[in-house]
Structure 1
Amino acid sequence: MLTDLRPETPGTYFDRLTEETAINGRGMTDYDLPAAPHERTPLLVRRCLAYMCACLRKAQEEFRDTQVKAYVSLSFADTEEALLTSNVTFCTPLPDVRPCIPELEAVTDAAVAEISLEDCPAWS
């Protein structure tokens, strides 16, 4: 899955983290979801978790990468409707590269989770 998301022509990036987040970051498809928060939220979260776990499993199967992390964020769109939206980004933590989201616990404008393959249930 992750290899399918790579652009045809790679760009020039400042560092590896910038490259990974540009290639591996995706807004979760939500145009087909209802607008009402009580209906939209569980569907969007479930969709994010299923996609993220499938990609983490694929990274392990195809690349033997067990260190890759998924970063899932939920926030309200800056539009009149202010619908809940989500993004999923994948990065492999490296000792010489800054974290994907520095000070993750300090993020206040979105709900953000860092998830590893071990966090994914076997049934998803």
Structure 2
Amino acid sequence: MGVKVKGVSQAKQKLDALLGEVQGRKVGRAIKSALFIIGADAATMTPIDTSYLVNSQYQELLVNGTRVTGRVGYSANYAVYVHEASGKLKGRPRANGSGNHWDPSGEPKFLEKAFKDNADKVSAIIRKELSL
């Protein structure tokens, strides 16, 4: 007693197209949205003296097989030293009298703080972008 089912091949094609869209456009868009939010928040916490550091920020989307990752970073040579600074001089005047250390809103570990502060937003954005 066999039953004929129509439209199986069409359903399979539509499912494959949907999976291709999720893997292709939706994942990339979700990661780029998350990078934009983290990068913007990190920029507000980046110490600004000559603006070179904040202007050297980059965001990149990396695809390696089925793994899609995003990266926010700074191309300035000294970025890692500023990021890893202890911040113990925050708000104190400089020795040469040209302002205070870490002013006006600079924070040590600005990239880590931006990620931690926005973890809920990033999760919500990824959930929203990947919804069907």
In the superposition, the TM-score normalised over structure 1's length comes to 0.38
Larger Rg: 2
TM-score, normalised by the number of residues in structure 2 = 0.36
More helix by share: 2
